[in-house]
Amino acid sequence: MDIVFMGTPDFAVKSLEKIIEEHNVLAIVTQPDKPKGRGKKMLSSPVKEKAIELSIPVLQPENTKDVEFSKILAGFKADIFVVAAYGQILTEEVLNMSRYGAINVHGSLLPKYRGAGPIQWSIINGEKTTGITIMQMAKGLDSGDMLCKEEVEITLKDTYGTLNEKLAYVGGSLLIRALKDIENGVVVKIPQDHEASTYAPMIKKETELIDWSKTSWEISCLVRGLDPQPGAYTLYKDEILKVWQVEILNNVFSDKKCGEILEKTKKGFVVKTGDTSILVEVIQAKGGKKMPTDAYMRGHEIELGAVLS
């Protein structure tokens, strides 16, 4: 089929790589280049970099509602639009423009976790499984009919980064299956149970702050769900410390305050939580590098009895 592909991050690259093995990609739509780092150097999205490598035309509209953008899209006369973590809402005109409309590679088992952050929230909320849903796009947030699904286990060691990579590979393979069914006219569209839907919003700064009154399990899930970006953090004497890796301990310190630093070990420092305690193993100070906590403590004082906030 002749396809226009829309995507932005690494997650979408896997789907693009699968598509080009069997189909003709007419053009790629991705988010505009953005300044990053101290030098504010303009950086391209991973999907744009892959498009340049493949010599495929790239479109980077600031707003998909732009009339000129719609005209350009219509000019491709694509059989279908494929969307994977693109990052902009498409108009009804665009969704219905091609022969088979638009389909989306979504990182959850719909109707659960509709929205921008399904992979992060599945870990943050302590889910044991998640998956990929290929969905026919329609007006509304991730509310279209489901074409196929595949479940993926969330292990105790999974972070947002590792789970994102696993789901990207599954998404690429599942997408090829869906495209084949669409092309052969055998695809089965299953309506979602809208009453069973849940929402996975974009991660906000307040989500990243560790609440030490929560259980050790909840804190561990938050840390893993925000790794490698944007990272969970705490405040030590009003200074930001990002927390990248923790170990749940069974020790209960009922006479201590939540967030209190209880002891220092060869691997890091122990903090009181809402139920037990946690060993903080990898941290990052503001402006510094990610490092094992024991290495950080060799050059910085961590005061016993101090309360993280």
Domain membership of residue 103 (yes or no) is: yes
pLDDT tens-digit profile, the chain (309 residues) = 999 999 999 999 999 999 999 999 999 999 999 987 777 788 999 999 999 999 999 999 999 999 999 999 999 999 999 999 999 999 999 999 999 999 999 999 999 999 999 999 999 999 999 999 999 999 999 999 999 999 999 999 999 999 999 999 999 999 999 999 999 999 999 999 999 999 999 999 999 999 999 999 999 999 999 999 999 999 999 999 999 999 999 988 889 999 999 999 999 999 999 999 999 999 999 999 999 999 999 999 999 999 999
* CB-count exposure of residue 294 (10 Å: 0-12, 13-18, 19+): middle
Of 129, 161, 196, which residue constitutes the final position of a domain? 196
Q: How far apart are alpha carbons 64 and 267 in whole angstroms?
A: 49
Residue 305 domain-assigned (yes or no):
no
The answer on 132 and 60 residing in a single domain is: yes
Note whether 61 and 188 are same-domain residues. yes
Domain check: are 46 and 170 in the same one?
yes
Domain boundary, last residue among 196, 223, 256: 196
- Which residues span the domain enclosing 267? 205-299
Residues above pLDDT 70, as percent of the chain: 100
Asked if 47 contacts 30 with a C-beta cutoff of 8 angstroms, the reply is yes
8-state DSSP, 195: G
Domains: count for the chain: 2
Domain shared by 217 and 188, yes or no: no
Question: Which residues does 256 contact at the CB level (< 8 Å), separation at least 6?
Answer: 262, 272
Give yes or no: residues 191 and 210 share one domain.
no
Same domain, 236 and 188: no
Q: Is residue 192 located within the same domain as residue 294? A: no
Q: What is the CB-side half-sphere exposure of residue 189 using CA atoms within 13 A?
A: 12
Q: Which of 179, 196, 213 corresponds to the end of one domain?
A: 196
